[in-house]
Structure 1
């Protein structure tokens, strides 16, 4: 959490504020030329309002507290959303603009409450995506001044390769006697067709147990699918030809498809290796490796 203070807060007149000061100067010249007390009074009242507005604008950002929440991973080309929390510990702070260079959102921050401003980053590129410096600004209450501050919040997410379903030409084999894309496609297709049930044996995947039959007291049965195989699949960037980004995109598709099929697989990226496994945690680890490879 970071707190805005006088050392990081800046304020300058807006274009309307400069016109306002010019108007006050014209009124002062008129008051001097015509020696008119009412014009003097109007001029000094307007200038006092100008100074009071400067203080109110500055106070509207002072002592605000900022935090950056966790951003969910995205795929290349998608929009990442960083939740930025703004908290007002002492009073209402209205008309606060929170944003980065390409995106802004306006919020009102009530007393002793936290308001979340979603900061969007469009067209993310594979790799680590860091939250750019966040700018808070306000022209409250009259638009005569603009106060602002710029804060670096430690927040990041990952951008995975965009899944590509078109099979790529292969260099070697990934499963005995099959090309990489053919092997993965065969296994993925095979588990889609339910064949029947068999008695549970040690070594069968728990994810394939028919829990409904078990709950009815019918014993422990395991679902069988056509094309089911116990051969471990290894995914590797060296198995495919083409640009690296295209290969990573196809590997991303294979990771998702094999995870959905609940089939164990491993991943090799250069000298980096992830042992065969299955499940959502394994999928996340593989996608993270694909996102950060050569970055």
Structure 2
């Protein structure tokens, strides 16, 4: 069809954004498959022949095929009717990688459903068999080529079960987004520079400056280890402080480390690589961007990568 892509895009934009969707009569569409349409044409030809030659068995065959098609319409509709779909939060990925659009399908009926799903952009086709009164998680791959937030694509799901004569299909626009981090670009020049020593503290200041408990990192001193947690839960954890322990370096990852001629995306990619290197080595660091600073804290990796992904130059 001419302008098919434009018409589909216009129609999909009119669909509401929903985090949870239950398919009902207004959302399900029914069309014959190629096999079903061929069978319908055969039934019509047999019926015309029966009219011309007055063959009773031909009438029986024509109306039997027509009855089968009508039953197929009902059975295909039941495959989608009442199906519940829900968005599941997804993790961010780096530019150039495929993110997973995570969904949860729930079958509230005692009917076994055979479904197929695909995003509006095409790509991988996902098939599943959803047992009666069961839930099943699914993931649809989406390639992210640009830094920042990306909306979930519209999802098309359909079924031709059980006869393959009628296709029942529906569209859903999930109300969710995926975050694409900058592509890490190695920056050996700044790997081991731009750090400052943490302030020393006298013995007894730990309780006052204590921040939280975190996972044990290689190189943590025995004074940082939470021995009481180790004794109670047999879990190795370390104390984190608002100011850094004596002698421990706080690495500075700053926007100003790079010349003004370096483009925006290259700066962010280099800073992203340095963040990952600090996390890998268990080093403390501070990310400084124009208008935003990410200090050492729980979940700093995700906060720092999100700050880089969402960054826009101040106007």
- TM-score band (shorter)? 0.7 to 0.9
Gaps of at least 5 residues in structure 2 are 1-19, 197-201, 211-215, 232-245
Is the 8 Å Cα contact of residues 67 and 84 (structure 1) preserved in structure 2? yes
Deviation of 1:137 (Å): 0.6
Matched, 1:259 2:300: no
Matched, 1:183 2:193: yes
* Pair 209,247 (structure 1): closer, same or farther in 2 beyond 3 Å: same
Selected match of 2:222 from 210, 225, 235? 210
Matched, 1:149 2:161: no
1:21-40 aligned within 5 A: 21-40=40-59
Could you tell me the TM-score, scaled by structure 1's length? Answer: 0.78
* Pair 255,229 (structure 1): closer, same or farther in 2 beyond 3 Å: farther
Matched, 1:61 2:80: yes
Is the 8 Å Cα contact of residues 80 and 124 (structure 1) preserved in structure 2? no
Moved more, 235-244 or 54-63: 235-244
Matched, 1:119 2:140: yes
* Pair 267,3 (structure 1): closer, same or farther in 2 beyond 3 Å: same
**Number of equivalences:** 260
Cα deviations across residues 19-57 of structure 1 (Å, max 9, x unaligned)? 111100110011111111111111111110011101111
Is the 8 Å Cα contact of residues 98 and 117 (structure 1) preserved in structure 2? no
Is the 8 Å Cα contact of residues 100 and 139 (structure 2) preserved in structure 1? yes
SS at match of 1:60: helix
- Cα separation, 2, equivalents of 1:236 and 1:130: 30
Deviation of 1:261 (Å): 3.4
Selected match of 2:152 from 107, 127, 131? 131
SS at match of 2:80: coil
- Cα separation, 2, equivalents of 1:128 and 1:163: 17
Is the 8 Å Cα contact of residues 9 and 148 (structure 1) preserved in structure 2? yes
1:1-295 aligned within 5 A: 1-100=20-119, 101-167=122-188, 180-181=190-191, 183-184=193-194, 201=203, 208-210=220-222, 232-241=250-259, 242-274=262-294, 276-277=295-296, 281-294=299-312
Is the 8 Å Cα contact of residues 249 and 283 (structure 2) preserved in structure 1? no
SS at match of 1:102: strand
SS at match of 2:164: coil
SS at match of 1:150: strand
* Pair 281,159 (structure 1): closer, same or farther in 2 beyond 3 Å: same
Larger-Rg structure? 1
* Alignment RMSD: 3.0
Cα deviations across residues 119-143 of structure 1 (Å, max 9, x unaligned)? 1112443211321111111111222
Could you tell me the TM-score, scaled by structure 2's length? Answer: 0.73
Deviation of 1:247 (Å): 1.1
- Cα separation, 2, equivalents of 1:203 and 1:247: 38
SS at match of 2:82: coil
Deviation of 1:254 (Å): 1.0
